[in-house]
Structure 1
Amino acid sequence: MGWPLIVHSTFVTPDRAVAELADAPGTELSTPCCGFDAVSVPSAVGLEALVLAGRRDVGNPPCLVVPDEVAVFLVRPGSADDLLRLAGVSVESGPGGRLMLPPAGGARWDTPPWRIREEAPCQLDDSTGFAACVTDAFRLLGIADTQ
């Protein structure tokens, strides 16, 4: 993806990150949220939002699932502010934000941020269409959706 990689608190090259993960599989690997906003929602909401996005043909943003029942979606940088009004949603963005990358903490890609057959990064959409899917997912699951 071309993202800067951080092992523990040190920026490393991709080759160094691979070596660190091979030496210690539990190594914490992350990247700053410079090329995207990372939107975290409860996993049930995230999975329902993905289904709704597919039905509405608004595109499925890359999605990372972490074991503590959280789904993390990647959208175009600076576009996730409208989702902050929803309870249970957090957004990491900009160089100060961090995204833990698989396999750190047991995370895995549900929808990877690359086109599998082309081995190329996908283009990130803004959160406009997907925000409606997240809002509707909260409602369908009977979860209060505003702070």
Structure 2
Amino acid sequence: MQRIIRDTAVARAIKVLYDYQCQICGTRLETSEGPYAEAAHIRPLGSPHDGPDSASNLLCLCPNHHVLFDHGGLAVQDNFDLIGYPGRLQIHGRHQIDLACVQYHRERYSPLIRGEGSITPPRLQKGNKCRHELSSVRCNAWGARHRYSVTPHDC
């Protein structure tokens, strides 16, 4: 088994460039250890994707949008409008994103966004209430929001 070694300095630089704010919703998570965000590869690393571990293939996302992005809940147009989620990807003037990576991600995940793929959102069991944390995340969106709780509320 081959393990991919990521360049954590590049990931850290992207997070610093965006001040740890999600490029989709603008959320900046504060923890007792400081701000938290995730560096998401647009074109995944490793076989069969072989995406580059470079700033041009990285986004700064909150955990919710990282999961949605990685599992086909949303994608990005070439003009940075979002597919499957309202709004536009925020791009810093010093961040050059590789459109070939964006196109690869969109071609791979657009069928999932349109409901033609095999990934389906998880269902809450009867009696369990959604307690997601971000008002910018629609209640019918799905992802890891049930794991990362900041200011929960009942839906």
TM-score grouping bracket, smaller chain normalisation: under 0.3
Structure (1/2) with the larger strand percentage: 1
Q: Which has the higher contact order (CA 8 A, sep 6+)?
A: 1
Alignment TM-score, normalising by the size of structure 2: 0.24
Alignment TM-score, normalising by the size of structure 1: 0.24
